[in-house]
Amino acid sequence: MTPPPSFALGQSGDVANRDNNPPAWLWNEMSDDEIDALIAEYIEEAIQFLFVPSYIYTPEYEYQYELDLIMIDATSDDSVYDTMTDYFNAATTQTALDEAVPYTEWIFEILKADIDDAFLEDYKDVLDDTTETVSCGWGGDAQIIDSDALIPEVDELITRPDGIVTIPVFITIFDDCGYVDSYGVMGSAVAYDDGEPFGVFMATGKNQLANDGLTTVVVHELGHMLGLMHPHQSFSYDTGELEFEQDWFWDQSATTMTYYGDLENAYLDGFNQDTLDRGHALVLLDNVQNFRYAIWTELEDKGYDYYTVPNHVFQSIFEMDDYWDLSIEEFENRNYFSYYSSGYDAVGLAVLSLETAADALEMAQALDDYTPKIWVDLGTDPNDPDTDGDGLEDGVETMTGIWSTDEETGTNPLLYDTDADGLSDGVEILETYTDPTDDDTDHDGLLDGVETNTGVWVDSSDTGTDPNDADTDGDFLWDGQETNTGIFVSEDDTGTNPLDYDSDGDGLEDGFEVIEWGSDPNVVDTDGDGYDDGDDYWPTFDLQIYITIYYYNVENTDVWTEDDVYFYVNIENTGWELTDTVVDEDEAYVSYNYSHDAADGDSYFFFWVEAWDDDGGDGSGDDQYDIDGRNTDDNQLFLVYYPDSGWVDGDAPHAYIKKSDDDGWTWVIVDGSDDGDYGSHDAEIRLIVGWEIG
């Protein structure tokens, strides 16, 4: 297989190559539409087959990661100790890592140190002995550190708790310039001698900090620690096999892993996100497969088979397989991971399958060996073919505890209801087709006897649900969880109707409300804000959005002097708000805060900001500052805010996101001079847009 776009219809031959791709026998009987469809399918499969294995994946998937960032001032005058953390943006790094490994928790530990600190004594000795000094293109000297020599010394400083992937990042800052292992390399993800990942070494200098900062290089090297390669590297990088052309991808893919300067970014674009999340889902499902093998090996070693596994273990295995099937279904629908909205996706369902698999293995390991029941003389009545009157002849009730066929029921011929589920053995075999040796055939948490399969709920002893379907109404909640009380208590007691996939009629499945949306599946409008949960992007609280202007800097002060600055603010086109005027200040820290009770049915919101110079009088002669750094024809700042992700679009080229469960806010820095319109009077402003619970 050769990659797109080298299609050459009109060639002949049976073999696909760069001149005959695809081969003639595939397309010579096709219409133009069929040929287009074939090419589209070919491109999609080529991308998945060639690109995915070459670019990912993490060597392991853990639920918790720890980033230990150690910043070391090695300058001769200790001049960067107080300011070196200013060059690292934790919020940007956090967002990039959340996108790279979803459904995980990251812990940040940031330590500032001086090279002369006592705990770095051995580190400094090795640094002095092994560092090479050369001339730096930025000016001054460049120090090139030796990562292999430093690993044994810094390894003693790192603690790696079980169950947490710990990634140490050592950043050494010199007077002029710094590099790792060779000139021009600011950072390197390194490994121990046995190939196990160690962490990251970075070296830089004061000259480089002012131009490059630290954030982008840190995120890039963390990408390597998670298994990401550069987009220009193909299979031959690892195996020496199957080289392929990647020019079509090299200049179109925005990612922190690229060397292509115009596309270098702290985040991944949609193409990279889908590619990475395909890998996440596949590796997680592969881990589940390994657990599945371990579970059944454990059970078989103890003498169990499919029919004799205890109910609680079987139910856990059943849930593992169910999440597995759902994850594969979402994968096939190309719903790998949802970044900006809640919902089912392949990665999330694979995580649930893996968690359930771990629980099932723990249960299997705790079981005692199975002792099979044997046929014994139980004293059945020789004059009554059905001693216990359960509708089955004694001869088919084989007392093995395993229901194999109607002629080998495994039931006890002296017990009317062997599994004590409220149904006689005969009814289960001949009418309900449930397992007479298992009191909960579908493992949904309800006894077979209460699941009457009428489709009508009477009470908890006559649920009307299907005893052979764990989720009768198909809402992703087991029938046993749906207690039909109308009151939500927990995920195990949802109060919903097991015969109605949308108990409150708000347009959302009960399972979606419980598992993903966080709303009450028994209440149409959980937060009582006038929006049904199905139409409410914020179903559990009333959303309040706000904007705060906290700094401005008037530029081109040779044009106007003694600036008197004021602002107009408009949220969601509800009208303009006028701030106070700051008199005779070209630069000032201010605090202008405006909030708005947002429409919870919307997922994004609009802000407009204008900055003016007060020339006195009625305002007709006032001059407007240019604070739109993207549009040479407009001075007004326009922002679009997405509270769920924290993203700010519109005229904001710089956004730094911070969020929690109860609120979120985003720093925005805009500069009118960025648009190159030097004829306007420019100003830089800094503001915050955010949300909170109203």
Mark whether 281 and 303 lie in a shared domain: yes
Mark whether 622 and 553 lie in a shared domain: yes
**511 neighbors 552 (Cβ within 8 angstroms):** no
| Cα distance between residue 173 and residue 669, in whole Å | 27
Q: Which residues pair with 658 in a beta bridge?
A: 665
State the residue range of the domain holding 641.
Answer: 543-693
Q: Which residues pair with 133 in a beta bridge?
A: 143
Burial of 41 (0-12, 13-18, 19+ CB in 10 A): exposed
Residues 6+ away with beta carbon under 8 Å from 286: none
| Cα distance between residue 531 and residue 539, in whole Å | 8
SS3 sequence of 514-542: HHHHCCCCCCCCCCCCCCCHHHCCCCCCC
Q: What is the CATH number of the domain that holds 591?
A: 2.60.40.150
**Residue 307, in any domain of the structure:** yes
| 230: number of Cβ within 10 Å | 18
168: pLDDT strictly greater than 90: yes
**99 neighbors 269 (Cβ within 8 angstroms):** no
Mark whether 39 and 88 lie in a shared domain: no
Q: What angle do CA 329, 332, 336 make, to 5 degrees?
A: 90
Mark whether 114 and 214 lie in a shared domain: yes
Handedness of CA 491, 495, 499, 503 (dihedral sign): negative
How confident is the model at residue 55, as a pLDDT?
42
Q: 54-58, 219-223, 594-598 — which is least confidently predicted?
A: 54-58
**Residue 295, in any domain of the structure:** yes
What is the average per-residue pLDDT within 279-298? 89
Residues 6+ away with beta carbon under 8 Å from 155: 198
Out of 29-33, 239-243, 384-388, the most confident range is 384-388
Residues 6+ away with beta carbon under 8 Å from 194: none
Pair of tokens at residue 160: 């790696």
Q: Domain ends where: 343, 366, 389?
A: 366
7: pLDDT strictly greater than 50: no
How much is the CA Rg of the chain, to the nearest whole Å?
33
Q: From 584, 608, 630, 576, select the one nearest 687 (Cα to Cα).
A: 608
How confident is the model at residue 656, as a pLDDT?
63
**151 neighbors 194 (Cβ within 8 angstroms):** no
| Number of domains comprising the chain | 4
**80 neighbors 180 (Cβ within 8 angstroms):** no
Handedness of CA 85, 87, 93, 94 (dihedral sign): positive
Out of 170-174, 559-563, 611-615, the most confident range is 170-174
Pair of tokens at residue 363: 């249960």
Q: Is 593 left (phi over 0), alpha (psi -120 to 50) or beta?
A: beta
482: pLDDT strictly greater than 90: yes
**Residue 277, in any domain of the structure:** yes
Give the DSSP H or E segment for 43. helix 32-46
How confident is the model at residue 557, as a pLDDT?
54
Higher pLDDT, 164 or 548: 548
Average pLDDT, the chain: 82
Mark whether 686 and 622 lie in a shared domain: yes
**Residue 115, in any domain of the structure:** yes
Mark whether 603 and 652 lie in a shared domain: yes
Mark whether 550 and 676 lie in a shared domain: yes
pTM for this model (two decimals) = 0.48
Q: Domain ends where: 366, 398, 422?
A: 366
Prior bond of 5 cis (ω within 30°) = yes
Percent of the chain residues topping a pLDDT of 70: 82
Q: What is the CATH number of the domain that holds 146?
A: 3.40.390
**628 neighbors 635 (Cβ within 8 angstroms):** yes
DSSP label at 367?
P
Q: Is 165 left (phi over 0), alpha (psi -120 to 50) or beta?
A: beta
Mark whether 156 and 237 lie in a shared domain: no
Mark whether 157 and 282 lie in a shared domain: no
Mark whether 633 and 684 lie in a shared domain: yes
**Residue 212, in any domain of the structure:** yes
Out of 212-216, 307-311, 547-551, the most confident range is 547-551
Higher pLDDT, 96 or 591: 591
Burial 414-435 (b: 16+ CB within 10 A, else e): bbbbbbebebbbbbbbeebebb
Mark whether 88 and 183 lie in a shared domain: yes
Q: From 112, 140, 113, 116, select the one nearest 128 (Cα to Cα).
A: 116
| Cα distance between residue 199 and residue 235, in whole Å | 24
Q: From 191, 339, 171, 347, select the one nearest 270 (Cα to Cα).
A: 339
> Helix (H, G, I), strand (E, B), or coil: what is residue 364?
helix
**Residue 488, in any domain of the structure:** no
Q: 37-41, 419-423, 462-466 — which is least confidently predicted?
A: 37-41
3-state helix, strand, coil in the chain (%, to 5): 30, 20, 50
pLDDT per position as a tens digit, 332-377: 888 877 755 555 788 889 989 999 999 999 999 998 877 554 433 5
268: pLDDT strictly greater than 90: no
| Cα distance between residue 638 and residue 653, in whole Å | 12
**Residue 299, in any domain of the structure:** yes
Q: What CA–CA distances, in Å, run from 661 to 269, 368, 665, 679, 690? A: 25, 43, 12, 45, 13
**269 neighbors 339 (Cβ within 8 angstroms):** no
Give the DSSP H or E segment for 454. none
| 134: number of Cβ within 10 Å | 12
Higher pLDDT, 434 or 343: 434
**Residue 263, in any domain of the structure:** no
Mark whether 88 and 40 lie in a shared domain: no
